[in-house]
Amino acid sequence: MLDKIKWFWRYYKKYKYVLAVLFLLTPVQTAFQVSIPRLIEFTVDYVKTLEISAAVGSNRVAIWLNELGQSLDLSTGLTFALALVLLGLVANLLYAFVQSHRAWMNMRLEWLFRQDAFDKITLKGPDFFNRFRTGDIVTRLTDDVAEKLSWFACSGIFRFYEALLMVTFSIIMMMSIDPVLTLWSAGPLPVLIVIFFFSSSLLDKRYAYLQKRISDFNDTMEACFSGIRVVKAYVRENAQKKKFGQIIERRKEAEISTIKAMTVVESCYFYIWQFGILIVITTGGYMVIHSNLSAGQLVAFIYYVIYMIFPMFDIGQFLVKSRQSAVSINRLQELERHPALVTDEGTFSPDGDIRGAVSFENAEFSFPGSDIKIIDRLNFDIKPGQTVALVGKVGAGKSWLTNLIPRLVDPTGGRVSLDGHDLRKFRLEDLRRHIGYVPQEPVLFSDTVRKNILFGREDISEKVLEWAVEVSQLKDEIASFPKGLDTEIGTRGMSISGGQKQRLALARALVGKPKILILDDCTSALDSRTETALWDQLHKVMPDMTAILVTHRPDTLEQADMIYVMEEGRIVESGTHVDLMSNETRYARIYKRYQLAEEVAG
């Protein structure tokens, strides 16, 4: 429980004014509210007896109110009536003021929870996304935050606070009228306490199971829609429908099971307390008949018991929702607790231009908890302006090697340096600003060509944008698009070809004019003529740029200054194309296989 309070406090401490309003004005508003039945009591007894002493007894507030009315030439009945109106008006104005702050805080907290979780997720490494599926993450940031947490975080907690105050103040008022009848009316309370302790464990299990089913549901939808082309190509629509039907059936069963448990518990809190009204009417009526209680006091008692019905429902709802919210908080904390592979703790910021010299010194990489070394004791240097090609079988570690340079992951042993400085000493923003990175599978967003290239970098001029488009061999094709650079490319770029996607991703990397360009087999969809033109243009306009390529294209390999052959995370051969082809090397065999595959493909 303490860790949940600390988790909430992280967000609440930024809004101390709202907290002060909710904590300080809620008791004031409640005090005004519970004063109304006492005024009704005095009014009923005064109307019945027409004697102020019999109606108010020794109640100082009522006596003072009557004296105030007399000083203003008002009758006792009119004084009590005006006091009721004024008291009700103040109580409602305060209630509206407090409620508006609660509603605002609900929305603000929902935004904070989601934004904070999103910010932390963007810092996680590849191992995080291997563990948590996309649909599961979406569920945690939407359903867990919006449906389970946002209302409870403020309204749920402060309605509980208001309910406790209302019950406490009402009981105090009831005790001041008749302690014995108060004890009779509190009869259902022990039953409700027992219900809570028996139901809490059951609710926890139901909520955890439900959230898992919702995650499975969203993950299945996301996987199906993302791979819809493959589904259609293999005529698997019916299989997907069947799978989706099974998933939605399991979610439906979990939803129904959870709602049943919630309804039973909440109904117990709501309906059992209504027995208090029956007790008050029966016992209080008997006391009025035998002159042990006045009619006004019985009316006030009934009001107070009614006042406590909805607060008891709020208390029950709080106890139910707190279990549900605890499950959702645990699910968000689970995301937080997963350690990031890269932390931005560097302080070094290069004063001048980066030259682009990259060095690997006994560099190693493996995932936490795994003994398998994906990168194993690499030692080699890349000179400024050099074009380096990495080749090897699938799973040799080529992509992971390139991931070390922009610090998408950090080495778990040894170090990687840039211009003689350990990469971990750089501020991430400063380091990555000088690196252009195009991954193996180009990632595009549901937006325009322009926005996909600029990617939020508003300082880039139109001239530089056009230059990047021209260098990436995309100028002529963009000119043929309906709206040019402002053409929408659809979900993940579905409206453009594979080659266009790769060149658009390349333009995104080039528009920042990087000193280091990393291309991870990203020109595979280009024809030989387009790729040759691309490299000619690149070498012409950016001769000092260091380029690191993962490629299987023979023409590209021939243009590389240095080639490194990788196997099981290690470099097993290195040299120029001519040197490596002069002997029966691994590279020579790989190159001939690439060349043959290209000739067969035509």
Helices and strands in the chain, H and E counts: 26, 10
Identify the pLDDT of residue 108. Answer: 92
Identify the pLDDT of residue 388. 92
Residues 600, 494 share a domain:
no
Please check whether residues 520 and 583 belong to one and the same domain. Answer: yes
Does residue 33 form part of some domain? no
Residues 518 and 586 in one domain: yes
Alpha-carbon gap, residue 482 to 498, rounded angstroms: 19
pLDDT score of 312: 75
* Residue 239, helix vs strand vs coil: helix
- Residue 151, pLDDT > 60, answer yes
Q: Are 390 and 402 in contact (CB under 8 A)?
A: yes
| CATH assignment of the domain containing 197 | 1.20.1560.10
75 assigned to some structural domain: no
Amino acid at 5: I
What would the mean pLDDT of 507-529 be, rounded to a whole number?
Answer: 81
CATH number of the domain bearing residue 523: 3.40.50.300
Cα(418)–Cα(2) distance, integer angstroms = 45
Query: Quick one: pLDDT at residue 50?
Result: 63
Q: Is the pLDDT of residue 55 over 60?
A: no
pLDDT band at 525 (very low <50, low <70, confident <90, very high): low
Mean pLDDT (whole number) for 270-286: 76
Q: pLDDT digit string (tens) for 197-227?
A: 677 677 777 878 888 888 888 888 877 777 7
Last residue of one domain, picked from the residues 466, 492, 513: 513
Q: Is 176 helix (H, G, I), strand (E, B) or coil?
A: helix
pLDDT above 90 for 22: yes
The first and second tokens of residue 322, run together, are 């707190």
Q: How far apart are CA 208 and CA 540, in angstroms?
A: 59
- Do both 175 and 264 map to the same domain? yes
Assess whether 166 and 244 both reside in one domain: yes
My answer on whether 402 and 503 are in the same domain is no
Of residues 327 and 291, more confidence is placed in: 327
Q: How confident is the model at residue 325 (pLDDT cuts 50, 70, 90)?
A: confident
Q: Compute the distance between CA of residue 405 and CA of residue 435 in angstroms, rounded to an integer.
A: 9
pLDDT band at 48 (very low <50, low <70, confident <90, very high): low
Average pLDDT over residues 248-269: 83
- Residue 519 parent element (H or E): strand 516-520
> How confident is the model at residue 308, as a pLDDT?
79
Q: How many CA atoms lie within 13 A of 151 on its CB side?
A: 11
Q: Specify if 42 maps to a domain.
A: no
Instruction: Give the count of domains, the chain.
Output: 3
Among candidate residues 110, 112, 113, the one with its CA nearest the CA of residue 151: 110
Tell me the range of 53-57, 368-372, 378-382, 468-472 where mean pLDDT is highest: 378-382
pLDDT of 225: 76
Q: What does the buried/exposed string (b/e) look like for 3-19 if buried means 16 or more CB atoms within 10 Å of the residue's CB?
A: eeeebbeebbeebeebb
- Give just the sign of the alpha carbon dihedral 290, 295, 300, 306: positive
C-alpha span between 508 and 501 (Å, rounded): 11
> Is the Cβ–Cβ distance between 538 and 547 less than 8 Å?
yes
* Two tokens, residue 74: 């008002």
Q: Which amino acid, residue 202?
A: L
Residue positions counted in the chain: 602
In the structure, what pLDDT confidence band is assigned to residue 499 with cuts at 50, 70 and 90?
Answer: confident
Of 513, 531, 554, the residue that ends a domain is 513
Average pLDDT, integer, range 328-351: 85
275 pLDDT exceeds 70?
Answer: yes
Q: How confident is the model at residue 415 (pLDDT cuts 50, 70, 90)?
A: very high
Q: Is residue 425 part of a domain?
A: yes
Per-residue pLDDT at 62:
67
Domain residues for 553? 352-434+514-602
Q: Are 282 and 329 contained in the same domain? A: yes
- Within-domain flag for 37: no
Question: Cα–Cα distances in Å, from 365 out to 9, 131, 373?
Answer: 38, 18, 6
Most distant CA atoms of the chain, gap in Å = 120
In the numeric block, the tokens 């400024």 are attached to 384
Same domain for 597 and 554? yes
- The residue-averaged pLDDT of 381-409 equals 90
Q: pLDDT confidence of 7, banded at 50, 70, 90? A: confident
SS (H, E, C) 161-190: HHHHHHHHHHHHHHHHHCHHHHHHHCCCHH
Share of the chain above pLDDT 70, in %: 92
**Does some domain include residue 344?**
no
Same-domain status, 165 and 245: yes
φ, ψ at 516 (rounded to 5°): -130, 130
Same domain, 270 and 382: no
Query: What mean pLDDT is reported for the chain?
Result: 83
Same domain, 122 and 211: yes
What is the mean pLDDT of the segment spanning 19-44?
88
In a domain, 173, yes or no: yes
Q: Bridge-partner residues for 389, per DSSP?
A: 549, 563
The reply to whether 324 falls in a domain is yes
pLDDT of residue 314: 79
34, two tokens: 């519970």
Cβ proximity of 62 and 46 under 8 Å: no
- Are 273 and 131 part of one and the same domain? yes
Task: Check residue 455 and give its pLDDT.
Answer: 86
The pLDDT-based confidence of 232 (bands split at 50, 70, 90) is confident
Paired tokens of 207: 């909520």
